[in-house]
Structure 1
């Protein structure tokens, strides 16, 4: 279903064609190690599919979860409320981090 507001975001790559998450995601707070999931999150995160999206429109990074029986991820920028919808398909990508930019 089309977004009635007309606020669409396209998934785009980094300006040089190479996506490097460290460009967009700040360093973890002290006491946390990048790439390590705390023990209390690991069981829940393993059962819930997720992707990370950097919203270039406002500079926010969020993690988006979906139910295992759904076939798409729906994300909304926490600042300007633009939506990004990513469909899950057999011929899709195995990437877990994406960048959404304005049309």
Structure 2
């Protein structure tokens, strides 16, 4: 799929697949850490996400990476990344591919 035929949501999901939890070799989308992607007026992007653990020492790094990568997408006007622990993340939120890769199947 060329960049011209990809929707903005596709491009957001594509860059989110390049963000990894440093403790787990799987991207945050496959891990199920991204709860919601909202595309608002003037392509203002809202992302609600969580972390694998509330005390994650690299929380700021992951959020900053998400913000910077989504902000760099052509056409995006602004980005708001919201961190939530409701509902708390669990292994069931991972994609089947991620569970297979990590041996949780």
Q: As a proportion of its length, which structure holds more helix?
A: 2
Is this a same-fold pair by TM over 0.5? Answer: no
For the pair shown, the structure with the greater C-alpha radius of gyration is 1
> TM (normalized to structure 2)?
0.26
More strand by share: 1
Tell which has more relative contact order, 1 or 2 (C-alpha 8 A, sep 6+).
1
